[in-house]
Amino acid sequence: MNANPLPSTPSRQSASAAAGAVPDGAVPVTEVVLPGVVAPEGLQVHHRTVPAPAAGQALVTMEATGVSFAEQQMRRGKYYDQPPFPFVPGYDLVGTVTAVGPGVDPVLVGQRVAALTKTGGWASAVVVDAGDLVGVPAGLDPVEAETVVVNGITAHQMLHRKARVRAGQTILVHGANGGVGSTLVQLARSAGVRVIGTASPRHHDAVRALGAEPVDYAAPDLPAQVRRLAPGGVDAVFDHVGGPGVVDSFRLLARGGTLVSYGSAATKDDAGNSRKPILTLFARLLVWDLAPNGRNASFFNIWAGRRRRDRFQARLRADLTAVFGLLEQGVLRPQVAARLPLDRAAEAMALAESGTVVGKVVLTPPAG
């Protein structure tokens, strides 16, 4: 999808709409633009029209779109793979198909769907390749469904495709109150896995309620605390923090254990090249993985394998459908930290960054 906005105006109406010159099939949209490296209040609300979907595409009217950690990095210009400014952020969304382009089955119109977009989701309507859409079961609340799109796919694939956890094992989940972390904890518990979860003390009750044993991620003796809980080491560590602490994550593994690294939150405020910390991390993981130490280490990237598009889409559809099934059964409890309308994205972002929330801050259609 195209996340770079067309020329637009921050007025209440797009220029073409105001002139009454909306082309056939085009629809007015409200979108949130990240203009450059800015504080959350620097996000801009724009209005424009999007053209009717082209061949193979669908127009999705947004019902819910999430605030992810990726946007915290993007607004600092620190996300590994972000487009040039300005662009519309928004990693995922849930909505209803309102139009389809040539070659797309018209039966899709009216269906509720989810999509992983990486950017572009923070808009009242989004044009997406139809092959990227995944059906959302009827009866699921769109905001609740939204909390498990990028978070659910990431957590499910890391647990079951990367670490291949088994019932009876013990794992360590960093940031267990966060969007991905809280989903990881629940999916692991539902698979019969014991979970130790790091979080700041204010979130320990919430982490306990998810079924994990909390430890303070800022405690100087964090490794010793984990060792007390799992003297033989843990079978897998899920680490989105990177930085120097990833060494402890690797050392905490039991023989045969797996370190799944999937981010570099610790370096988001570092000055300099945004790719350097992640490349340093990749190199470190490779060395650990190749060394004869009886442990595995690798980086998880949700976009890996995207070049083989059909396979990638099929895997994503299978995994997200499985996660939606667990949500429907009540095995997964949606962690909605807050619901705010799209035009309050700046507030939503500040809240997501405040360190006070459990789960996901979700944006809903703009007010008025």
Instruction: State the minimum distance, in angstroms, from the CB of residue 357 to ligand NAP.
Output: 6
Which C-beta is closer to ligand NAP: that of 141 or that of 248? 248
List the structure tokens of 317. Answer: 């559809």
The stretch among 32-40, 165-173, 176-184, 343-351 that binds ligand NAP (CB under 6 A) is 176-184
Number of Cβ atoms within 10 Å of the Cβ of 58 = 26
**Contact predicate 340/347, CB 8 Å:** yes
Can you tell me which of 95, 175, 214, 233 binds ligand NAP, judged by CB under 6 A?
Answer: 175
Can you tell me which of 5, 40, 95, 178 binds ligand NAP, judged by CB under 6 A?
Answer: 178
φ and ψ of 69, to 5 deg: -60, -30
Where helices occur in 135-215 by DSSP H, the ranges are 142-146, 150-156, 179-190, 204-209
Can you tell me which of 65, 68, 147, 249 binds ligand NAP, judged by CB under 6 A?
Answer: 68
The stretch among 20-28, 57-65, 66-74, 141-149 that binds ligand NAP (CB under 6 A) is 66-74
Per-residue CA distances from 17 to 8, 56, 148, 239, 354 (Å): 11, 26, 35, 47, 37
d(CA 295, CA 111): 45
Number of Cβ atoms within 10 Å of the Cβ of 128 = 22
Is 101 near ligand NAP (CB under 6 A)? no
Instruction: State the minimum distance, in angstroms, from the CB of residue 355 to ligand NAP.
Output: 4
Can you tell me which of 122, 262, 288, 324 binds ligand NAP, judged by CB under 6 A?
Answer: 262
Per-residue CA distances from 23 to 27, 140, 246 (Å): 9, 35, 53
d(CA 220, CA 145): 37
Query: Which residue's CB comes closest to ligand NAP?
Result: 178
Provide the mask over 212-251, with x wherever binding to ligand NAP is found by CB under 6 A and - wherever it is not: -----x----------------------xx----------
Which C-beta is closer to ligand NAP: that of 99 or that of 210? 210
d(CA 232, CA 239): 19
User: Among all chains, which residue has been given the structure tokens 């060395």?
Assistant: 287
- Residue 129's contacts (CB-CB under 8 Å, 6 or more residues apart) are 1, 56, 57, 58
Which C-beta is closer to ligand NAP: that of 176 or that of 326? 176
Which C-beta is closer to ligand NAP: that of 174 or that of 295? 174
**Contact predicate 289/282, CB 8 Å:** no
List the structure tokens of 351. Answer: 């809240």
d(CA 21, CA 177): 48
Provide the mask over 123-152, with x wherever binding to ligand NAP is found by CB under 6 A and - wherever it is not: ---------------------------xx-
Which C-beta is closer to ligand NAP: that of 51 or that of 211? 211
Is 265 near ligand NAP (CB under 6 A)? yes
The stretch among 5-13, 21-29, 93-101, 263-271 that binds ligand NAP (CB under 6 A) is 263-271
Which C-beta is closer to ligand NAP: that of 108 or that of 212? 212
User: Among all chains, which residue has been given the structure tokens 């990240």?
Assistant: 34
The stretch among 18-26, 175-183, 221-229, 283-291 that binds ligand NAP (CB under 6 A) is 175-183
Is 174 near ligand NAP (CB under 6 A)? yes
**Cβ burial 223-252 (10 Å sphere, 16+ → b, else e):** beebeeebeebbbbbbbbbbbebbebbbeb
**Contact predicate 57/128, CB 8 Å:** yes
Is 266 near ligand NAP (CB under 6 A)? yes
Can you tell me which of 90, 179, 214, 277 binds ligand NAP, judged by CB under 6 A?
Answer: 179
Angle, alpha carbons 323-112-191 (nearest 5°): 5
Which C-beta is closer to ligand NAP: that of 17 or that of 265? 265
Is 5 near ligand NAP (CB under 6 A)? no
Which 285-324 positions form the footprint of ligand NAP (CB under 6 A)? 300-302
**Residue ranges that bind ligand NAP, judged by CB under 6 A:** 68-70, 150-151, 154, 174-175, 177-181, 198-200, 217, 240-241, 262-263, 265-266, 300-302, 352, 355
